[in-house]
Amino acid sequence: MDSALIPEGAKRCSFPKFYMGIAVVGAVVLWGLLAWGLIYWKGLNQTNMNDYYGFALWIWADLAVIAVGGGAFFTGLLKYIFKIDELKNIINFAVIIGFICYSSALLILAIDIGQPLRGWFIFWHANVHSMLTEVAFCLSFYFAVLTIEFIPNILENRQANKVSFFHHLAHNMHGIMVIFAATGAALSFFHQGSLGGVAGVMFGRPFSFREHLNIWPYTFFLFTWSAAAFWPCFTLLVTKITETITGKKLVGDKTVHLLSKIAGWMITSYIIAKIIDTIYWATVTAPSLGFKWTHFYSNNALYGKWMLFTELILCGVLPGVLLIMKSTRENSKLRLLAIILGVIGVCLNRWVMVLQVMAVPVMPFDTWALYIPSWQEMATTILPVAYGIILIALTYRYLPVFPQEQELNYPVEEEAVDEPVVAPAAEPVAATE
């Protein structure tokens, strides 16, 4: 039914089967939209946030998707600026994942603010001292850059590409993409850092407060570093999930191994910096404010030292080491374990830097505050995930996202090119989509 839109030579499942799947995920989207509608109609009292938890699940989701979605900027930087050509095999997908993550972040922010119609005040009445102002500007501009980076891929759709203007536009946009890659990298560096700065500048909150290098707290650099370290894990994880669902190999081993290697070294270097930062905070910063570091990990039901161990060692050091060593990196099961741990690690870091900051008592007579999100918060947090699944499904079906798909799945067809007669289309190796 929609075969004219499917990339030439690509094998996709039947139209009804595809849209049945979309309908299932679409139901989740509708659930999220219902919650969103309730929140806009009745207000943020639909959440379980309170005056202790002004920042909660949504802000964590925001920080987490931006961290794991950092692949778009880093892949662009490595491919276009550092000329690592191997990454051309995954850059389209990295851009799509980035687009989903950043649009999700903006969507969540739009739900999160108490007066959505005043959202533009952040630009109009901007306070240059606020890290959130920098986040808003860089996030919006970078989303625009991501959209520009995404457009050529959309225009490469089989039908769109038949239009001469679109064909040439896509071609020329590819040609100047280095400019956008550089712009995106600069913007991303700042907003990833600013998101770390959001917690690091709060000098009234000893758990998150960090010493500064000039005007930037150490968390500024750690957030940028961690986003640059963990994005390959998320990109590889989503690729793996897509490969599992489609039953096809979509990215070659060489690219996967390269990304894993980059992740390994970046995670290891990041986690060393993070451990140094934690030790300095625990032994110098917190005590100077009257706190023993154990104060932040005791007398409550959730936040214990296990969390610190999980973030730094289990989901930091371990995946770093697994991805550095060639033998474990090239073992598909251990690699998968490492990238899952990596994704959990960076998400846990964002959780700690948002939720635990709010939970810790600062006044000596105050108490720990724990929080469980309402179904409306959960639905609106799952909403972007469902939206992401749909967008990935649509782009995979209709756009040439993976340049290696043909050679990895239809080798028979490639050989057939040299044949003097037109060979019948070969079945994909594992077209069980």
Partner 1 sequence: MKQEHNKAHKFGMVIDLDKCTGCGSCMVSCMSENNVPFKDDESDKKKSITWMRVYKLTNGKSFPDTEIVYMPRPCQHCGGKGDHGHSPCVSVCPATATDYGYDTGIVSQIYTRCFGCRYCMGACPYHARYFNWWDPKWPEGMEKYLSPDVSPRMRGIVEKCSFCYHRYQAARDQAYAEGDKDNIPEENYQTACTTACPAGAIVFGDLNNPEHKVHQIVKPDPHPDPRNKHVVGKSRNPKVFRLLERLGTNTKVYYLSDREWVRKQGDNYLEGEWDKIKNHHGDTSHG
Interface region with partner 1, contact rule CB under 8 A, candidates 12-20, 139-147, 183-191, 283-291: 283-291
C-beta closer to partner 1: residue 294 or 332: 294
Cα separations (Å) of 380 from 175, 373, 383?
38, 11, 5
Cα separations (Å) of 228 from 223, 281, 332, 389, 396?
8, 23, 22, 23, 25
Q: Which of residues 82-101 bind partner 1 (CB under 8 A)?
A: none
Q: Which of residues 46-75 bind partner 1 (CB under 8 A)?
A: 49-55
C-beta closer to partner 1: residue 132 or 431: 132
CB of 365 to partner 1, least distance (A): 5
If one asks whether residue 291 binds partner 1 (CB under 8 A), the answer comes out as yes
Q: Which of residues 196-215 bind partner 1 (CB under 8 A)?
A: 198, 201-206
C-beta closer to partner 1: residue 195 or 317: 195
Interface region with partner 1, contact rule CB under 8 A, candidates 86-94, 99-107, 355-363, 400-408: 355-363
- Please state, as a whole number, how many other Cβ atoms lie within 10 Å of the Cβ of residue 330: 14
Interface region with partner 1, contact rule CB under 8 A, candidates 19-27, 128-136, 155-163, 403-411: 128-136
If one asks whether residue 304 binds partner 1 (CB under 8 A), the answer comes out as no
62, 105 Cβ separation under 8 angstroms = yes
Interface region with partner 1, contact rule CB under 8 A, candidates 126-134, 138-146, 303-311, 397-405: 126-134
Amino acid code (one letter) for 302: L
If one asks whether residue 141 binds partner 1 (CB under 8 A), the answer comes out as no
CB of 55 to partner 1, least distance (A): 5
Question: From CA 285, how far away is CA 37, in angstroms rounded?
Answer: 43
If one asks whether residue 136 binds partner 1 (CB under 8 A), the answer comes out as yes
Of 37, 290, 306, 309, the one binding partner 1 (CB under 8 A) is 290
Place of tokens 């154990």: 294
Q: Encoding tokens for residue 75? A: 């892949």
CB of 358 to partner 1, least distance (A): 6
C-beta closer to partner 1: residue 54 or 411: 54
CB of 212 to partner 1, least distance (A): 11
CB of 128 to partner 1, least distance (A): 9
Q: Which of residues 252-281 bind partner 1 (CB under 8 A)?
A: none
For 232-259, give one letter per residue: b (16+ CB within 10 A) or e.
bbbbbbbbbebbebbebbbbbeebbbbb
216 forms beta bridges with: 213
CB of 272 to partner 1, least distance (A): 28
C-beta closer to partner 1: residue 332 or 367: 367
C-beta closer to partner 1: residue 54 or 175: 54
CB of 211 to partner 1, least distance (A): 12
CB of 132 to partner 1, least distance (A): 4
CB of 99 to partner 1, least distance (A): 24
CB of 354 to partner 1, least distance (A): 9
Place of tokens 């570091």: 293
If one asks whether residue 337 binds partner 1 (CB under 8 A), the answer comes out as no
Interface region with partner 1, contact rule CB under 8 A, candidates 93-101, 149-157, 176-184, 362-370: 362-370
If one asks whether residue 288 binds partner 1 (CB under 8 A), the answer comes out as yes
If one asks whether residue 301 binds partner 1 (CB under 8 A), the answer comes out as no
CB of 344 to partner 1, least distance (A): 24
C-beta closer to partner 1: residue 201 or 250: 201
Binding mask 363-382 for partner 1 (x = CB under 8 A): xxxx--x-------------
Residues at the interface with partner 1 (CB under 8 A): 43-45, 49-55, 112-116, 118-119, 121-122, 124-127, 129-133, 136, 198, 201-206, 287-292, 295, 357-358, 362-366, 369
